[in-house]
Structure 1
Amino acid sequence: MTDSGFEAVLQAAVADEVRRALAATVGPDGPHRRLMEHARLFVAAYLWPRSAHSGDAALIAAAGERVRALRVLQGPSGLFVGGDNVDSPPDSSFTVNDLCDALELIAQAPAEEQAALADLAAELTAIADAIEPALLVGGVHTPNHRWEISAALARLHRRRPSQALRDRAEQWLAEGVDITPDGVYSERSANYAAFVSNPSLTVIADVFERPDARQAVIRNLESTLGLIHPDDSVETVHSRRQDQLTRFPLAPYLTAYRRYAIELGRGDFAWAAGRALGGGIPHPSAVLTELLLAPRIGEELPDASPPAPQRAWEQSGLVVDDTAGRRLVVFGGSDYARFRRVRSGLSANPTFLRMFAGDVVLDSVRLSRDFFGLGPFRADRFTPRSDAGAPGHVLAETVSAHYYQPLDADHRSPSGEYALTDDGRFYGSMSFGDRATDDVSLHTVIDVEPTADGALVSIGIDGPDSPWALELAFRDGGVFEGVAESADGTGLLESGAGRYRVGSAAIAFDAGDDYRAEGTGRYHPGEDYAFLGASDAAAGSRVYLTGRAPGRLVLALRAEQAGR
């Protein structure tokens, strides 16, 4: 039986998307992905009987206009022009995947509608023919690109079976799907899982009969269940991609959870699909295309059942702890300790704790230090508490800077010229590796002990006298109580306890009777950002607790609800 609620939401989303796409200007520069996404949308909306534009010839004309503009963007290699990745096989594959799905929609349509779309199909076929040789030899530069380009090869094979297409896809697949035992892809990104890896591996599994690809998707969906927050976002603090500093909605996971909930009869996936639909349909073109190509996605879901909690994602250094009154996220899996740099493709978010409590969200807890520009605390060790039976985790880090001694006689240069080398913070023509050093180190240990209504966060900092600031960044929409307002609009907890309140809910933060602020609070992103004039500072309403090393701080976080 059809899920009428799902179809009603999709119907409204498609109508709105068609309206906006028809009003969009078709420019000479594309971009190519948007041109083809709109063309696919018009084809799908024309063919879907529930669409407000079903059978509307204006959509065929609009699709043709986009496809002709796309053809102009196809370079001599067959790849599309545009974007920061020049002459890019994987970027072109995103467009090819939409193009091949549009061709498949036409191929599956009734004969009368196929005839109406015949000219458009011929234009799409010519573009696909021209790009196929480039995808048979083209390379990639990120892990997920392997699956995007393999999905394009699969779709090209679906329209016209070719051993060469299958063999090339098998070359990529022979590397093995990059999914960890805890069900997270190597990039640890909700964005790329939802938009690239899961949909790509699904079509690869369907076309090439690869159960390993299908199982990877199911494992990722299982893992993601435990990362769905009360606000219907998916945790990203551990990501190695751009979404590590943003909130990512559950909505893009909608069709994956629907498909596998129905195929496998899984109530936990149905629960996730229901939650995802509550966030709307941000990409109706993709959802409608999937529905038309796999109508079973539109069937009624099995009865929803909340998932069993997953507590830890060991390979990601991530722990989630739930009680009836709050949710904690503890993160100690940054790549920064290993590579000592911030780069695209590395996990570097310094947030080590989040807390959800009703309408109040403590989005980020970070520890900032003024210590040689080495930046905020990012754990290099993350272990369960050693106390027998005591819940919680310990995060630790040691950072060091060096003072260099004169070179030995055999390393001196008569010209005074020395190798330009990396100190770990900066480069200098000093041949740093040939010098003896005097090291200055800062040791930090953070013990997070969950409590029924919050957490006890114990921080110990050992090393030379240097200032630190603990930053609590709350999601906007509330007010601080018991906090002194600073000139920059942030808050400072001068002593004792404060709270952040949203309506009847609050999170209290209590530093105890012995705490006294030392200095004003501010966040230091470290030299990786500062020398560029940039920052990875957290957004929201921020309050600081301040002190100096060596020192100790014990902070109690507590969820409060009026009437409880």
Structure 2
Amino acid sequence: MLSPLDHEFVRSVARAADRTAVPLAACPDEEPAGVPHRGLARRVKTLVAAYRSPESELHGSGQALAAVMTHLRALRGAQTPSGLFAGGDNVQSPPDSAFTVNDVCDAYVLAAGGGPELQDITAALAEIAGAATPSLLTGGVHTPNHRWELSAALARLHRSFPDDRLPARAEEWLAEGVDIDPEGLYSERSAVYAALVTNPSLLLLAEVLGRTDLLDAVERNLATTLDLIRPDRTVETVHSRRQDQRLSFALWPYLPHYRLLAIRTGRGDFARAARLAAADGVDDPDLLAQTLLTPDLCRALPAPDAEKLPRDGYLPTARLAAHVSATAHTVVYGGSDVPEHRRIRSGLACNPTFLRMFAGAAVLDAVRLSQAFFDLGPFRAADMEQLAANRYRLTQTLTSAYYQPLPTDRRRDDGAYRLVDEGRFSASMAFPDRPQDEVSHTTRVEAELREDGADLRIDISGPSVPWALELTFRPGGEVRGAVPLGDGSWCLTTEPLTYRVGDDEIRVEATVETGEPLVGPDRSDVLRYDPGQDYTVVGGTDAAAGNRVYLGGHGPQALTLTLRATSQA
């Protein structure tokens, strides 16, 4: 039995749409100069939804329709002879155009059911969709999620303009298999692309093509994401292979998916996630159109499950562990792609953060370990083992080499040897042909996650090289017990450090077990974060921003770090 309508939710999504649509309708003839094609299509969809919704200030508004036509003219003007859209950093891109066509097709469905006064709008939308269809039928992609966005556009086109070639092409993409791993993560491990591209695309494809397996994939991903929700209502991204690995991503874009599946399945854990996603209010202008296209979204949520504390989880495929209690939310990560691929690249998981902790408003955003070994960059674990419940070991072994003279049979009189990349450096040296003397450096971090924080043991072995541990706290708090270094950074000595925000606090204490004492605040050459030459050779960095606390020394060395949380949350 379907639940009753959630009238407050319906009103809130209309208000969110109106915040975008009402100003546009107030100046209906104003040309949208500089707005990219995806923005134009999204505005059209929002304006048509507002016109159709009885809850909107623009219900039945002629000015809203005039603004739609102004935007449609601009959108048609952005369409090239191929039917694809100009603009953006991807040239003549089928998938980028698919994002726009998806909104065009949704707007068409809304307009087609809106009466004769929308006939001109319906015709303009059909013209734009028809012009794009041939290129979307034959076009290619260049990221995993593009396959599903493009397939969703093909399915939407078929929904409104039936053509057997369209679902056949979508099924050709789907025949590759959805890239979801046994843990429920898509191959890009990205919250941004799961929430904004893959999940909505698969839900649409499941509906149009009758593919319940795609619905199952979305449910699995949403179930896994439950354990990635952080106390600040963001979703963990440190393990992502896309640009959000360096960003904080809010939970609210997941709202329609958690809400829809909670209503349709009765899952109380999804209902709780949906409530969390809307806890700060509804501010997504696209939700109004989604509720008109999928009326089940307007139904009342089932009763939410209570949060279970304490809880812990480990995702072996991403090498990501979390322990959550009423006091602390701690994440340990050892799933970087850099040790295997030996490069920094878009599409690889490169974030060197291996631990973060939330204690209410006091947040330790990143713990990173720099090491001056052949400029190969900070510690990124190549392996992560679960030693016991809530106890993990991260390991990285870096290897570089000094090269001997070439064997006699490999020498050239002209001295023109192959230009080769040896893993950290490229030169015309024919490196693989030379005997080499390897130098290795191993770092192990053991992390035990506790109800009130974490215990770390860091073991640095190999040649004597400087290292620095960087703890980056989220701005807004007060650092006590450390020596200021200037520029928003401090030096941790043998005295305990506290970071306090209101009544919430994280306390850190370091003890050297073996090796030299920690260096003092006068050693700025050691107490710094070094991103490694893959960044510095092009003048870049992946440094974290915030209140940075350093401790450092010279290996070999072993030390323990005790992190304790106190929270009134």
TM-score between both structures, scaled by the size of structure 2:
0.95
Provide Cα deviations, 1:73-105, integer angstroms capped at 9, x if missing partner.
111111111111100000000000000000011
1:204 alignment partner in structure 2: 205
Provide Cα deviations, 1:342-396, integer angstroms capped at 9, x if missing partner.
11110010000011111111111110111111000000110012xxx56310000
CA contact (8 A) 2:25 2:66 kept: no
- Residues in 2 aligned to 1:492 and 1:6: alpha-carbon distance in whole angstroms: 49
Residues 543, 21 of structure 1: alpha-carbon distance in 2 compared, 3 angstrom cutoff: farther
Query: Which amino acid in structure 2 is aligned with residue 433 of structure 1?
Result: P
Provide Cα deviations, 1:117-146, integer angstroms capped at 9, x if missing partner.
100110110111111111110000000000
2:253 alignment partner in structure 1: 252
2:336 alignment partner in structure 1: 334
Residue 60 in structure 1 maps to residue 62 in structure 2: no
Residue 106 (structure 1) shift: 1.6
2:469 alignment partner in structure 1: 470
1:553 alignment partner in structure 2: 559
Residue 337 (structure 1) shift: 1.1
- Residues in 2 aligned to 1:105 and 1:535: alpha-carbon distance in whole angstroms: 46
Identity of aligned residues (%): 49
CA contact (8 A) 2:370 2:468 kept: yes
Residue 487 (structure 1) shift: 2.9
- Residues in 2 aligned to 1:84 and 1:369: alpha-carbon distance in whole angstroms: 36
Q: Which moved more, 1:521-530 or 1:27-36?
A: 27-36
CA contact (8 A) 1:30 1:73 kept: no
Query: Which amino acid in structure 1 is aligned with residue 533 of structure 2?
Result: E
Instruction: Pick the aligned partner of 1:322 from 299, 321, 324.
Output: 324
CA contact (8 A) 1:37 1:98 kept: yes
Residue 89 in structure 1 maps to residue 131 in structure 2: no
CA contact (8 A) 2:338 2:349 kept: yes
CA contact (8 A) 1:249 1:279 kept: no
Residue 323 (structure 1) shift: 1.9
Provide Cα deviations, 1:512-560, integer angstroms capped at 9, x if missing partner.
3775335331100011101111100111111011111100110000012
CA contact (8 A) 2:328 2:452 kept: yes
Paired residues for 1:448-459 under 5 Å: 448-459=447-458
Residue 29 (structure 1) shift: 5.2
- Residues in 1 aligned to 2:457 and 2:113: alpha-carbon distance in whole angstroms: 62
Residue 341 (structure 1) shift: 0.6
- Residues in 2 aligned to 1:23 and 1:347: alpha-carbon distance in whole angstroms: 45
1:364 alignment partner in structure 2: 366
1:493 alignment partner in structure 2: 492
Paired residues for 1:281-300 under 5 Å: 281-285=282-286, 287-300=287-300
CA contact (8 A) 1:29 1:82 kept: no
- Residues in 2 aligned to 1:513 and 1:209: alpha-carbon distance in whole angstroms: 61
CA contact (8 A) 2:18 2:285 kept: no
Residue 9 in structure 1 maps to residue 12 in structure 2: yes
CA contact (8 A) 1:319 1:330 kept: yes
TM-score between both structures, scaled by the size of structure 1:
0.96
Residue 489 (structure 1) shift: 2.5
1:118 alignment partner in structure 2: 119
Paired residues for 1:55-454 under 5 Å: 55-109=60-114, 114-285=115-286, 287-306=287-306, 309=311, 311-385=313-387, 391-454=390-453
- Residues in 2 aligned to 1:277 and 1:359: alpha-carbon distance in whole angstroms: 20
Residue 455 (structure 1) shift: 0.7
Residues 543, 155 of structure 1: alpha-carbon distance in 2 compared, 3 angstrom cutoff: same
Residue 561 (structure 1) shift: 4.4
- Residues in 2 aligned to 1:20 and 1:350: alpha-carbon distance in whole angstroms: 44
Residue 27 (structure 1) shift: 4.5
SS at match of 2:464: strand
SS at match of 1:464: coil
CA contact (8 A) 1:29 1:73 kept: no
Residues 223, 23 of structure 1: alpha-carbon distance in 2 compared, 3 angstrom cutoff: farther
Residue 495 (structure 1) shift: 1.9
- Residues in 2 aligned to 1:159 and 1:4: alpha-carbon distance in whole angstroms: 29
CA contact (8 A) 1:6 1:277 kept: no
Residue 531 in structure 1 maps to residue 537 in structure 2: yes
- Residues in 2 aligned to 1:23 and 1:444: alpha-carbon distance in whole angstroms: 62
CA contact (8 A) 1:463 1:549 kept: yes
- Residues in 2 aligned to 1:465 and 1:310: alpha-carbon distance in whole angstroms: 37
CA contact (8 A) 2:105 2:160 kept: yes
Provide Cα deviations, 1:486-522, integer angstroms capped at 9, x if missing partner.
0332011122211111011110000137753353311
Q: Which moved more, 1:99-108 or 1:195-204?
A: 99-108
SS at match of 2:101: helix
- Residues in 2 aligned to 1:26 and 1:330: alpha-carbon distance in whole angstroms: 50
- Residues in 2 aligned to 1:45 and 1:425: alpha-carbon distance in whole angstroms: 56
Q: Which moved more, 1:307-316 or 1:32-41?
A: 307-316
Q: Which moved more, 1:124-133 or 1:13-22?
A: 13-22
Residue 281 (structure 1) shift: 3.4
Residues 561, 215 of structure 1: alpha-carbon distance in 2 compared, 3 angstrom cutoff: closer
Ranges in structure 2 where 5+ consecutive residues have no aligned partner: none
Query: Which amino acid in structure 1 is aligned with residue 305 of structure 2?
Result: S
- Residues in 1 aligned to 2:255 and 2:145: alpha-carbon distance in whole angstroms: 20
- Residues in 2 aligned to 1:310 and 1:501: alpha-carbon distance in whole angstroms: 25
Residues 320, 372 of structure 1: alpha-carbon distance in 2 compared, 3 angstrom cutoff: same
CA contact (8 A) 2:478 2:500 kept: yes
- Residues in 2 aligned to 1:560 and 1:205: alpha-carbon distance in whole angstroms: 46
Residue 279 (structure 1) shift: 3.5
SS at match of 2:499: strand
Residue 310 (structure 1) shift: 5.7
SS at match of 1:263: helix
SS at match of 1:315: coil
Residue 267 (structure 1) shift: 0.8
SS at match of 2:169: helix
Residues 23, 316 of structure 1: alpha-carbon distance in 2 compared, 3 angstrom cutoff: farther
SS at match of 2:463: strand
Residues 407, 349 of structure 1: alpha-carbon distance in 2 compared, 3 angstrom cutoff: same
SS at match of 2:178: coil
User: What is the aligned length?
Assistant: 555
Provide Cα deviations, 1:469-500, integer angstroms capped at 9, x if missing partner.
10111111001000111033201112221111
Q: Please, what is the CA RMSD of the aligned residues? A: 1.6
- Residues in 2 aligned to 1:537 and 1:102: alpha-carbon distance in whole angstroms: 42
- Residues in 1 aligned to 2:403 and 2:219: alpha-carbon distance in whole angstroms: 53
Residue 2 (structure 1) shift: 1.8
CA contact (8 A) 1:183 1:216 kept: yes
Query: Which amino acid in structure 1 is aligned with residue 406 of structure 2?
Result: L
Query: Which amino acid in structure 2 is aligned with residue 246 of structure 1?
Result: L
Q: Which moved more, 1:487-496 or 1:456-465?
A: 487-496
Residues 83, 390 of structure 1: alpha-carbon distance in 2 compared, 3 angstrom cutoff: closer
- Residues in 2 aligned to 1:551 and 1:540: alpha-carbon distance in whole angstroms: 27
SS at match of 2:415: coil
Residue 451 (structure 1) shift: 2.2
Residues 408, 213 of structure 1: alpha-carbon distance in 2 compared, 3 angstrom cutoff: same
CA contact (8 A) 1:336 1:348 kept: yes
Provide Cα deviations, 1:209-266, integer angstroms capped at 9, x if missing partner.
0011111111111111111111100000000000001110000001111100000011
